[in-house]
A and B are shown apart, each in its own frame.
Chain A
Amino acid sequence: MAQRKYPLADKLDREALLKMYRQLVLIRRFEERCAQQYSLQKIAGFCHLYIGQEAVAVGVEAAMRPDDYLVTAYRDHGQILARGTPAGPVMAELFGKATGVAKGKGGSMHLYDIPRHMYGGWGIVGAQIPLALGMAYASKYREEDRVTVCLFGEAAVNQGAFHEALNMAALWKVPAVFICENNRYGMGTPIKVSSAVTEVYKRAAAYDIPGEYCDGMDTLDTYEVVHKAVERARAGEGPTLIEARTYRFRGHSMSDPAVYRTREEVEEERKNDPIPKLRSYLIAKKHAKEKELDTIHEEVEVEVEESIRFADESPWPDPSELYTDVYVDPIWPEKVHA
């Protein structure tokens, strides 16, 4: 197999690359422990794990500026961790605790960290795409040089919201990058069953914007493609549609045993695991020794363990929180239910 070229990533310094590796390992380990905590009924409701897709969130984050805006769907644990939110408040949110990133009112599908420009965390397929359009529109309106990156699954591109938002994004050249995380299954439905055009990036032609694809199992390839699109948007040249070809190693959510995929298919995809892939690169480029990378795994293990302890020991939201945050003006709900 020919060695893949990374003209942009090759210029990244050791620190940036090790940060990416740490993020991959953190997301993986966080999600594995989430699955376990779900089985222990510490986490309830719908819980969509990111295992297998980590390269997308990490590659995207590396391609963005910290003050760029990110918005995604309900499979959002990986993105908020990549943005740099500490694992503790994220795990606490999944536990529904008062110390969670949304004070326990959002849960797994609704994770926010506004100071870190993570804007959720949205539960309706494709609904965050018009929202991203509005976010990018606001940047253009205010003449900010910030870019909005919007993530969504491949099933979302069959929603009207996708079409309407991309049309206007292209029409008004807003600074947005639309990234489809194509994990090939909309819940249990393979893309070839749901979509007339299975190569999602080709849909960009309908809006006369660039359509690109990247290997969403490869952190550095994702970084390369997204970085170009982000800088293009920042330069005022308009939006790009990117198809990140990825794969989730687990079911759609914790309640999905994923019997619609063959064991062979999953085993084959596991060979593309993004973590060993970046590890090989770091070793080959002499950015790190095996032992240093092992240390990262050990540190992450402690960090995730600590996040579970934090979530466990945190209090439930106070009953008085039931009627707060419905409106900005707190008089109204309190008045009604007094």
Chain B
Amino acid sequence: MRRYFEKMDDVGRELRKGEVKRTDDNVAALKEVEAELDAAVERVKTTGLSTEKINERGQMTVWQRLEYLVEPGTWCPLHTLYNPLDNPEDTTNVIDGIGKIGGKWAVVIGFDNKVFAGAWMPGQPENILRVTQVSKRLNLPLVWLVNCSGAKLPDQEKFYANRRGAGTPFYRHAELEQLGIPILAGIYGTNPAGGGYQGISPTVLFAHKNCNIAVGGAGIVSGMAPKGHFDVETAKGLIEKAKEFRDEPPGTVKTHYDETGFFRYVFDEETEVLDALKEYMAEMPAYHPRFFRVAEPKPPKYPSDDLYRVVPLEPKRVYEFEQVLARLVDSSEHTEFRPGYGPEVYTGLCKIDGFLVGVVGNRQGYLGKDYPEYGDYPGIGGKLYRQGLIKMNEFVTLCGRDRLPIVWIQDTSGIDVGDAAEKAELLGLGQGLIYSIQQTDVPMICVVVRKASAAAHYLMGGPPANRHNAFTVGTAASEVYVMHGETAAVATYVRRLIKEDAAGRPLEPVVEQMNELAQQYHDHSRPVYCARYGMLDEVVKMSELRRYLVAFAGAVYQNPKSICPQNHMVLPRLIKG
């Protein structure tokens, strides 16, 4: 199969002099947004107690543990800004991502021990469920850095119960284990109650000498008999009990290493726990990359920094999709599937770090006066029409046949509308694509390069495709909304305008409301907002996008559950004819 993959067709071209000249403002604008994102990430990193304070206590912070644990250059953080229930600490109190440990890709998550000693907090269960889903979808070991003081009690009603509450991750841990996905846990500090289950639910437990895990901690054990009120006598009793348990809390190493044996190992130094995790990770089942690579890994021909010039921040500006693709894939090479058919959509095979992937993306700009063939109006990229939808249905299905992971590159304003579009069956073809994706059991990643809008965001492998979408990353240019704010303002207020006008009343108050709604849409679709509320799993610098794709491809091909021999693949032959 070398002839199919070693040298594929060239895609993209160098930037021309005029393009460089006219895009300086765009570079500056995108970097300004990235600086805002950096500032938001910094707030997450510095929230809670200082690093010095934690280190004075003889502990490492979660950030220091991650830095020690994960191989340099491989860490791809996820959910850094995720804080859907607006915790004032700017975090759900878990830090996660994918990275290499001991030479193998893993999903890694740890409690931030700088904030309430790693407590459960609002929004955290959903964050953890996203992480277990990444592990499940990519078939990657999950590595926990447990350091969890249990529920932040004043906020318990926001996360303790419910179908996707703080107990659900323990079921997910069991599910992963039943699927054959191991969970390793390095355990530090005091882990009572919820923290105890965070400690016990993984597969192999690596304990630091000062840690404990327990059904209930000292605080609960010393005051578990409610009598309807508190009085001074009760308070004095509590003081005595609490002192007793502070000296010897339940579930220490003495109990869970010496007696129950729950802890498989105990280490004196914090770093020794991490060293043991590295050793275990090095022994995890994984194919050598050469088993699946179709060619030697090569960087793109064109620099990734060009993306700051290729992708306009202004959502109305058109650009060449192929110029984006050429800066993401190996050697800037591809093999396009059905070129010319459904021109608003790109579908093709590309290599990422030597691994074969399917790529689907939105082309931008004018599509020619004869397209869409069913309408008497011109088509424009970003929108989806009949042919593009048919082509995506075919391509996704064939990727499933050949066990190829799919990279979706979204910049879409929606599906064509109007009666001609209805007659062209776009509603059925759109849902048909959702059906195709759902029955195509391969991992997918979605990159929201710029716009993600309307149902097109759902059906182009976005986060709603969550059985197969491992994660979705955005950029400084990303904006996610059901429709553009001005369109929404028109849809909301046009009848009111007609009424006011007919009644001879001034239109200004309605116009003011329209502007307010449009502004609200703008504010609530910015990258930081989208990351905070989970519309994007991470917002990534333009220059870092390829690194995430490399991590995704490496993770997918590390230990796939189902494989297609290269010599049995159909898609490359269908393209070649």
Do A and B pair up? The answer is: no
B-to-A contact residues, CB < 8 Å:
none
A-to-B contact residues, CB < 8 Å:
none
